[in-house]
Structure 1
Amino acid sequence: MQIQRLHWAGVQLTARDTTLFIDTITPPEAELDPEVTTTHRHALLTHHHADHADLGYIHKWIGGTGTLVTHHDVLPFLNVGSLKVRTVGLHQPLILPHSTADFVVHAVPASDGLGDPQVSWVVEAGGKRILHAGDTLWHGHWWSIARLYGPFDVVFLPMNAPRINIGRFQDSGIPIVMTPEQAVAAARILAPELVVPIHYGRHEPGRYVETPDALNTFLKLAQEAGLKVNAMQPGEGFDLKPQAAVPI
């Protein structure tokens, strides 16, 4: 499985002849578009918020042949247009694509900071397994996710703990995404080989205000907890080698 971090919370996964996008949105001009050479292309959405669900940009990459996959509670919030859509329930495995089975994906519980439907995604390919946690709050499902789907090779965790003043969502004094401390606690429960922080670096005074120095706080706490972290920048990536068969 090849892994590339994209803009904001976006991740691109490639296994054999299939590319899978998670929460992919249009990057700023300073960042490049993904490079895609595979035949099969599909996309996963954790939830419908605009900084995770850029359907026009997704259509650019998966077109009319790829499938957009999300939880059935998320779909009513989306204007999918001509995109081909598949919905799933929690813990319902889905093979992508059906013809080659390069990926198996599972929607697992998450908790949205604005009360909207949201899931995280467990993705498996070549004997390797990752978790993408969208922009979830802290919740009590981490232990079950770890037990049901672990061990994880890589987990992508949000940790910028923003407070917002947007429309009816006025600042409550409580962050709408996990704090660095909570993300480290979640990572300790999930016990992956590697943690990749996502969903940070946005600051709009008076409207969207991240916890100050969230990334460095996360890195410091993760080091103290003995976690291996790769603070990948958009466009950076690495390979997870397929798991070798064990002789009997």
Structure 2
Amino acid sequence: MADKLCWLGHAFFEIETSAGQNILIDPFWEDNPAAGSRPDHGDIILITHDHFDHCDNLAEFLAADGIIVGQPEVLNKIRAGSGESLQEENFVLAGSGMNIGGTVNVKDVDITMVQAFHSSDAGSPAGYIIQTPEGKTFYHAGDTGIFGGMDVLGDIYDIDIAMLPIGSVFTMDPKQAAHAVKLLQPETAVPMHYGTFEVLVQSADEFCRLVARKMQDVEVMAIEPGETIEC
């Protein structure tokens, strides 16, 4: 069996591992105009930063024994706003959180938090390297502009699938995101954070064209919200 990746619109993804873990990244459902199919639950939920379009509806997606992964300040904010619905044991490392550069093993999935360049009300923005029991490596960049350290991530990790924002205004535009692919050198690039709102880039066409020109050996999969690919 293979791992599966489903884009749920905006920066919201679900990874279903062949070992049975369900990983959700940046849940944004109720007010997401580009929402795809609704996921059932998340055994692990990763939060890149605390903007509403990356952590809305979090509690309703969390499995009963689920774990939320994020920075200490972000987790404190989420817990404070959850009332009694979320407890210390629902957060990574008994509520302590993790930070950039660190790796934790959650339910047999290795999760490394890496830097991102954006803004956040609490803590600082981040991305994630996710290594599943199947041996696949996923990179979710979070909301970010391009940065030189992406080539270091590409050197350290053998990235199978990179999920990269291309929508401009708040993140990389297609030109920067295509160059990010060149730095990261993944096997497959999946564009995200576009088409959700009118102000964002509406199509992945330019990104696909630029990647094809810069990195012909990288496959771009511009999937639709709700579409699933095998990895």
- Both structures adopt the same fold (TM-score exceeding 0.5): yes
Is structure 2 residue 141 aligned with structure 1 residue 133?
Answer: yes
Q: Secondary structure at the match of 2:65?
A: coil
Choose which of 147, 150, 159 in structure 2 pairs with 1:142: 150
Q: Is the contact between residue 33 and residue 196 of structure 2 (CA under 8 Å) also seen in structure 1?
A: no
Q: Secondary structure at the match of 1:107?
A: strand
What corresponds to 2:67 in structure 1?
A: 67
Q: Distance in 2 between matches of 1:202 and 1:234?
A: 10
What corresponds to 2:161 in structure 1?
A: 154
What residue identity is the alignment partner of 1:219?
C
Is structure 2 residue 175 aligned with structure 1 residue 189?
Answer: no
Q: Distance in 2 between matches of 1:182 and 1:29?
A: 23
Q: Secondary structure at the match of 2:58?
A: helix
**Length-normalised TM-score, structure 1:** 0.78
What corresponds to 1:50 in structure 2?
A: 52
What corresponds to 1:200 in structure 2?
A: 194
Deviations along 1:49-96, whole A, 9 cap, x unmatched?
Answer: 011111xx2222214421111022433443344322221122211112
Q: Distance in 2 between matches of 1:30 and 1:109?
A: 26
Is structure 2 residue 107 aligned with structure 1 residue 90?
Answer: no
Q: Secondary structure at the match of 1:43?
A: strand
What residue identity is the alignment partner of 2:194?
Y
Cα offset, 1:14, TM superposition:
1.4
What corresponds to 2:200 in structure 1?
A: 210
Cα offset, 1:112, TM superposition:
0.6
**Length-normalised TM-score, structure 2:** 0.83
Q: Distance in 1 between matches of 2:36 and 2:228?
A: 14
RMSD across aligned C-alpha pairs, in angstroms? 2.1
Q: Secondary structure at the match of 1:88?
A: coil
* Rg larger in structure: 1
Q: Secondary structure at the match of 1:232?
A: coil
Deviations along 1:126-151, whole A, 9 cap, x unmatched?
Answer: 11101001111122221221222x21
What residue identity is the alignment partner of 1:105?
I
Deviations along 1:108-166, whole A, 9 cap, x unmatched?
Answer: 01111568611001000111101001111122221221222x2110000001102xxxx
Q: Which has the higher helix share?
A: 2
